[in-house]
Structure 1
Amino acid sequence: MNENELSFNQAQKKVDLWISEFGVRYFSELTNLAILMEEMGEFARLVARKYGDQSFKKGEDPEGISKEMGDILFVLICLANQMGISLEDALRATLKKNTERDKNRHKENPKLQA
């Protein structure tokens, strides 16, 4: 990993430091959940514009998808920190679960065959 890359654990520490330095304290988990849903809506709107049938409105940034993903990740990290969840451990567990459950499922799905 180069110096510009962040592991999830490093990102969780950086967000925690940012909150203590600039944010005073974390918002409540319920407030952060509402913020996460708001950010997901903003992300969904841009994805619909770029990949769906709608066009961008004047002033909307087609490259804003990356910004919205960053906003989602920030709030998700806040929630993980508040709940004492390691995102690295959570992702490892999910990959293991999905591999065990789905190792052949997608390969055998005729809808996914080219």
Structure 2
Amino acid sequence: MTIQEAQQRVDEWIRQYGVRYFSELTNMACLTEEVGELARVMARTYGDQSFKAGEKPNLGEEMADVLWVLICLANQTGIDLTVELEKSFEKKTRRDATRHINNSKL
């Protein structure tokens, strides 16, 4: 699935099952919540914390939840994530073309 297809499928799902998008501010809060849930799983999987009884290492599920809400926000605000990601690649390539290659820490 392309990013554009993902944006379209989320929009179709919202219209069919979700009635309407939550407000942009509510979705921003939801995104923050989902990033927190992802951070919790990361801390338990790769950090020093352990999973609580009943918790599971659902890293992919949490990443997908973050992506879902980010796509909702893009759709609501008229952002084409494919275009913006391409621009981000160009910016990072110009800025960091030799930065990481010349980093002795890496």
TM-score for the superposition, normalised by structure 1:
0.91
For 1:34, the equivalent position in structure 2 comes to 29
Q: Shift of the alpha carbon at 1:61?
A: 0.6
Out of 55, 66, 69, which is 1:72 matched to?
66
For 1:20, the equivalent position in structure 2 comes to 15
Out of 46, 51, 54, which is 1:51 matched to?
46
Out of 71, 76, 86, which is 2:80 matched to?
86
Q: Number of aligned pairs?
A: 106
Out of 4, 7, 12, which is 1:9 matched to?
4
Poorly superposed stretches of 4+, deviation over 6 Å: none
Out of 98, 104, 112, which is 2:92 matched to?
98
The residue identity in structure 2 corresponding to 1:106 is H
The residue identity in structure 2 corresponding to 1:104 is T
The residue identity in structure 2 corresponding to 1:84 is G
Q: Shift of the alpha carbon at 1:55?
A: 1.1
SS in 2 for 1:77: helix
For 1:111, the equivalent position in structure 2 comes to 105
TM-score for the superposition, normalised by structure 2:
0.98
For 1:3, the equivalent position in structure 2 comes to none
Identity fraction in percent: 58
The residue identity in structure 1 corresponding to 2:18 is G
RMSD (Å) for aligned C-alpha atoms? 0.5
